[in-house]
Structure 1
Amino acid sequence: MALEPPLPLEFIVHGTPTSLQGSARSRDEWQRRVRRAALAGLPVGGWLLSQPLAATIYIFPAAPLAGDIDNRVKHILDAMTRVVYLEDAQIHRIVVQKFEPDAIFQFANASQCLAEALMSTDPVVYVRITDDLHEELR
C-alpha cells in the first residue's frame, strides 16, 4: 500500500461550512467533520503531502448561503493541516463555488464523488486536493 495519499483526493463533508464569524465551538465541530471525511480517503499511517497543491471546494447548502464564501474556506483548509498536508501555505490555488438550491447545473465528466455530492438532498461540501496546479485552466 502506498504511503502517500492518492491524488486527486476527493471527499464530501456533510453539513454547511462555518463562517469566520461563527463561534469557536461551531468551528471546532466543523473542522472535526472535515478531518473525519478527509481521513476516510487516506491510507492508514500515510505521509502528509508536502508539495504545492490546489484545492477545489464546492459548497452545496440547503438554503441560500448568507455572507461571503471566502469566510467559509479558511476553516476547511485549516482542518486539513497535519491531516492531508503539512501546512495550508502549500495551497497555491483555490477554486471555490457555492451552488445554492435550484441553481445547480450539469457537470461534464463528474467524478463519482462529485456525482454523490450533486445527488445529496442534505447540505454537503465537496473537496478535491490535487498537485496539478493547472488542471482547470486547460
Structure 2
Amino acid sequence: MKKFEFIVDGPPVSQQTRRRQRLRTWKENVRQEAEKYWLSENKIANGFVMLQVTYFYDSVAMDVDNIVKPIQDAIIGLAYIDDNQVTDILVRKRYLFGKFTMVNMTETLLEGFVHGNQFLHIVVTDAPDQEVIT
C-alpha cells in the first residue's frame, strides 16, 4: 500500500465516552476528513498495515490508549478492508506549542500546524515484517 496520511482538527473522542452519539459523530468526521485526502490512485490495503497517530494537543490531552479505536474503525473500507489487518499501532501525543524537531515534514503534517489548533496526524502504511525475533 502506498502511504496514506491525513489530518483531523480538534480533540479526539475517546472510545470510552458515555455519549455514544458524540462518538458516532467523531467517527463520521474522521471518515470525512480521510476521504478528502484519499486519492483515486490509492488502493485499499489487502495485507497487514501499520497505523500511526500523533495527537498535537493545546491544553489537556487525553490518554493515548483511548484515541486509536474510533479512528481505526472510521477508516475501514477506505484504507483497509477490515481492522484486523492492523498489526502495528504507534500512538503519540505532543504538546502543540512544545519544543520538538520535525524531520522530513510532509505537506499534510504542515497543513495541520498551519491551522494553529490541536489536531491529529494519521498515517497508514504497510506493516513492518511480521517476523518475531526473540
Which residue pairs with 2:46 in the alignment? 50
- Describe the shift of the 1:89–1:98 C-alpha distance in structure 2 as closer, same or farther (beyond 3 A): same
Which residue pairs with 2:10 in the alignment? 15
- Rounded to whole Å, the distance in 1 between the matches of 2:113 and 2:51 is 18
Q: CA deviation at 1:119?
A: 3.3
Cα deviation, 1:36-58, whole Å, max 9, x if unaligned, reads 11111224597532111111100
- State the secondary structure of the residue aligned to 1:59: strand
Which residue pairs with 2:121 in the alignment? 126
Contact map agreement 2:56 2:120 (CA 8 A) in 1: yes
Cα deviation, 1:39-85, whole Å, max 9, x if unaligned, reads 1122459753211111110001221214x211111111111112221
- Describe the shift of the 1:59–1:45 C-alpha distance in structure 2 as closer, same or farther (beyond 3 A): same
Contact map agreement 1:18 1:30 (CA 8 A) in 2: yes
- Describe the shift of the 1:103–1:46 C-alpha distance in structure 2 as closer, same or farther (beyond 3 A): closer
Q: CA deviation at 1:96?
A: 0.8
- Describe the shift of the 1:107–1:85 C-alpha distance in structure 2 as closer, same or farther (beyond 3 A): same
Contact map agreement 1:60 1:125 (CA 8 A) in 2: yes
The two structures have a TM-score, normalised by structure 1, of: 0.82
Which residue pairs with 2:132 in the alignment? none
- State the secondary structure of the residue aligned to 1:81: coil
- Cα RMSD of the aligned pairs, angstroms, is 2.1
Structure 1 gap ranges (5+): 1-5
2:6 pairs with 1:24: no
Contact map agreement 2:88 2:127 (CA 8 A) in 1: no
The two structures have a TM-score, normalised by structure 2, of: 0.84
Cα deviation, 1:94-136, whole Å, max 9, x if unaligned, reads 11100124334121111111122233311211001111526xx
- Describe the shift of the 1:95–1:46 C-alpha distance in structure 2 as closer, same or farther (beyond 3 A): closer
Structure 2 gap ranges (5+): 130-134
- Read off the aligned partner of 1:108 and give its amino acid letter: V
Which residue pairs with 2:106 in the alignment? 111
- Describe the shift of the 1:18–1:104 C-alpha distance in structure 2 as closer, same or farther (beyond 3 A): farther
- Rounded to whole Å, the distance in 1 between the matches of 2:99 and 2:125 is 24
Q: Give the one of 69, 75, 85 matched to 1:90.
A: 85
Which residue pairs with 2:69 in the alignment? 74
